[in-house]
């Protein structure tokens, strides 16, 4: 394996993903990520000079909808997913001090 994920990197990625990992989990995640990067290296071996980068795999563009209201009151379904609710809102720990 050519790529190495440092302790700092796994810590940082954990912060970005809002994940708290145990030491074992960190090691496992490091190994997985190293494999992923190695795979990217394999892809990078391919000569892509002169090939235009694509942003999408399908040869399709301009898929639009018209500006017409098609959805009704979605409150019941949406709030069914709320771990904690107050009236008709999602209640979460206070975000701003």
Partner 1 sequence: MAKQYETVIGLEVHIELATKTKIFCGCSTEFGSAPNTHTCPVCTGMPGSLPVLNKQVVEYAMALGLATNCRITQVCKFDRKNYFYPDNPQNYQISQLYLPIARDGYVEIDTSAGPKKVRIHEMHMEEDAGKLVHDEWDDTSLVDYNRSGVPLVEIVSEPDMRSADEVIAYLEKLRMIAQYLGVSDCKLQEGSMRADVNLSVREVGAEEFGTRTEMKNLNSFKAIVHAIDGERQRQIELLEEGKEVIQETRRWDDNKEHSYAMRSKEDAQDYRYFPEPDLVPIVISDEWIAKIRAQQPELRTEKLERYKKEFDIPQYDAELITESKRVADLFEKAVELCGKPKKVSNWIMGEMFRLMKDKSMEPEDLVLSPEHLAKLIDMTDAGTISASVARKVFEHIFTDDVDPEKYVEENGLKTVNDEGAIWEAVEKVIADNPQAVADYKGGKEKAFGALMGQSMRALKGKADAGAVREMLMEILKA
Binding site for partner 1 (CB under 8 A): 12, 15-18, 55-56, 58, 60-71, 73-75, 77-79, 81, 86-96
d(CA 44, CA 40): 6
Query: Which residue number, 50 or 93, has a Cβ lying nearer to partner 1?
Result: 93
**Smallest distance from partner 1 to CB 93, Å:** 6
- Reported as type and span, the H/E element at residue 85 is strand 85-86
Within its chain, how far is the Cα of 6 from the centroid?
Answer: 21
**Smallest distance from partner 1 to CB 24, Å:** 23
């Amino acid at each position: 394996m050519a790529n190495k994920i440092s302790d700092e990197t796994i810590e940082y990625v954990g912060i970005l993903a809002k994940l708290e990992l145990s030491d074992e989990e960190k090691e496992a995640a490091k190994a997985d990520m190293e494999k992923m990067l190695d795979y990217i290296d394999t892809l990078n071996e391919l000569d892509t000079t002169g090939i235009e980068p694509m942003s999408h795999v399908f040869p399709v563009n301009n898929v639009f909808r018209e500006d017409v209201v098609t959805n009704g009151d979605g409150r019941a379904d949406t709030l069914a997913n709320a771990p904690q609710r107050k009236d008709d809102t999602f209640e979460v720990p206070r975000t701003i001090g």
